[in-house]
A and B are shown apart, each in its own frame.
Chain A
Amino acid sequence: MARTIVPIGPQHPLLKEPIAFQIVVEGEQVTDSTMRMGYVHRGIERLCQERTYIQNLYLLERVCGICSHVHAVTYCRGVESLLGLEVPLRATYLRALLCELERIHSHLLWLGMLARNIGLDTIFMYAWRDREIVLDIMEALSGGRVSHAINTIGGVRQDITPMQREVIWGQLDKLDQQVSRLLRVVEHERSLQARTRGVGHLSLEQVRRYCVVGPIARASGLDVDLRRDEPRPPYDRLNFDVVTHTAGDVWARTLVRMQETLVSVQLCREILRTMPDGPIAVSARRRVPPGEAISRSEAPRGELFYYIRSDGSDRPARVKIRTPTLPSLLSLQIQLKAITIADISVILSGVDLCIACADR
């Protein structure tokens, strides 16, 4: 068959957010690809300059729907370092609890999307059914399933009651059971392995060259996790494993994410058990003294980077966000070569695209 160009996007059943790929195929073989981003660009960084620090809390939550809380936490941490505030310990524990819950929910969502894109609808339904448990916990804690609005500059807005704690403890047990089952399915189910093994391979050297972060990098053997590498309360008091694999294909990434989810459930339990008492917020001034601050966090997809510069007023002068999906998108260039069309959906799912994050 002659050389043709298959457009994937901006609208395609495969993508949950618009992004355009032009894939050059010959028959069923892919030879090259180009990418065009920017369909979800909302100019959030510019909008931040016209809103106060408090208003930006809620704006920055909406950069991404899946990792909304960690954006807010990273921003808060940056502003708090500019203000010179020391966040109470209980607040950091509550923030970390929601971060870990968000990691679980993001990985379960991703597993469902991967399964759906390879035709295994059953795992999609099961993963999203288990994700409902997490969303219900988050809704009980913060009042919203996806946009939590629980952060404030100086701490968190809402505390966790003892009754909620008991309920969440029981839900975590159920979640542990379900996620373990999903992990075993990923390890043993043959048709899933047949589609994902050996597909989208990234070597360690390629990961380093493209600065890929997150589960993708860990699946290729790069041992990097900001929770352990830049220990901050409460992570400096919690022990957890960082999951890595060496295979570097989509199946390895699936295993890494599923095992990370189990680690996160364990972390949630430990956070609940060891949470100290105390205040949940300190009061913060509205005008931030001039300066620059950098804050980084481990979002579900990798390292999230915030740069905030203030000029002394109650609005930031510049907020710059580098999301983890951006280098993953660049690494797609190597992955989308010498594969078949059927593998395109596997690779695009394996990279866990969050285009809203990348486009801001």
Chain B
Amino acid sequence: MRAALVQGVKALAYLLPDLLRALVQRPETGQFPFAPPQIPEGYRGRVQAHPERCRGCGLCVRDCPAFALELHRENRDTFRLVYYPARCAFCGQCEISCPFGVLYQTHAFVRGTEDLDRLTVRLVDRSASTTPEES
């Protein structure tokens, strides 16, 4: 009799145990904008630089698949490395290609913005008059 009842419930409402279990467990979703997201250790986000190590070789520019890096070079000591976060695919090839360990990836997201200047970032600025700086 009891087996028949269990069979009947199984035939008519097979998912019922899962539904009841889901009621008592913690929900899977989070309150994202009001609670911080959980980002693991090696997450590949926005690209940043250690500008003092850069020598302007351009290996990163050559290997970027999204053409998000540009090197503007006047002579051996005057160059600028420009990064376009909007084009970036966050693949990390630039980090691997650089032999001097200049570029690295952070956990930051690249958010949409109405300010176009934020979409052109000077990672390395070596002009003859100024000291190296990071934007």
> What is the interface of chain A, defined by CB distance below 8 A to chain B?
51-52, 54-59, 62, 122-123, 126, 129, 132, 136, 139-140, 142-144, 147, 149, 152, 157-158, 181, 185, 188-190
Contact = CB atoms under 8 A, between A and B. Distances in A.
Contact of A149 (B12, B19, B22, B93): B93
A51 B65 contact: yes
Q: Is the interface of A mostly helix, strand, loop or mixed?
A: helix
Given A122-B18, A136-B40, A149 B64 contact: no
A268 to B, nearest CB: 18
Interface in B5-41: 10-12, 14-15, 18-19, 22, 28, 40-41
Contacts of A158: 42
B14 A139 contact: no
A332 to B, nearest CB: 30
Nearest to A314: B62
Q: How large is the interface on B (under 10, 10 to 19, 20 to 34, 35 or more residues)?
A: 20 to 34
A139 B38 CA distance: 11
Contacts of A132: 28
Nearest to B10: A188
Contacts of B42: 139-140, 142-143, 158
Contacts of B15: 122-123, 185, 189
Contacts of B62: 52
Contact of B14 (A144, A147, A188): A188
Q: Is the interface of B mostly helix, strand, loop or mixed?
A: loop
6 contacts: A52-B62, A55-B63, A139-B42, A140-B42, A143-B42, A185-B15
A149 B88 CA distance: 13
A58 B43 contact: no
Contacts of B92: 143, 149, 157
A139 B65 contact: no
B63 A152 contact: no
A230 to B, nearest CB: 29
B128 to A, nearest CB: 32
B96 interface: yes
A52 B63 CA distance: 8
Contacts, number: 68
A139 B43 contact: yes
B11 A190 contact: yes
Contacts of A56: 65
A126 B27 CA distance: 11
Contacts of B40: 136, 139-140
In this complex, the member of B15, B40, B66, B91 whose beta carbon has the largest number of chain A beta carbons within 10 angstroms is B91
A283 to B, nearest CB: 12
Given A139-B43, A149-B44, A190-B14, A144 B90 contact: yes
Contact of A58 (B14, B18, B22, B93): B93
B42 to A, nearest CB: 4
Contacts of B66: 58
B96 A126 contact: no
Interface string B42-80: 111000000000000000001111100000000000000
Contacts of B96: 152, 157
Contact of A147 (B19, B22, B91): B91
Contacts of B18: 122, 126, 181, 185
B98 interface: no
B28 A185 contact: no
Interface string B85-100: 0000111110011000
Given A132-B28, A188-B10, A190-B14, A58 B89 contact: yes
Contacts of A136: 40
A123 B65 CA distance: 38
A55 to B, nearest CB: 4
A55 B60 CA distance: 11
Contacts of A54: 63, 65, 93, 97
A185 B14 contact: yes
Contact of B44 (A62, A144, A152, A188): A144
A143 B90 CA distance: 10
A129 B28 CA distance: 7
A139 B45 CA distance: 12
Contacts of B14: 185, 188-190
A186 B112 CA distance: 41
Given A132-B28, A181-B18, A58 B11 contact: no
A143 B93 contact: no
Contacts of B90: 144, 147, 149
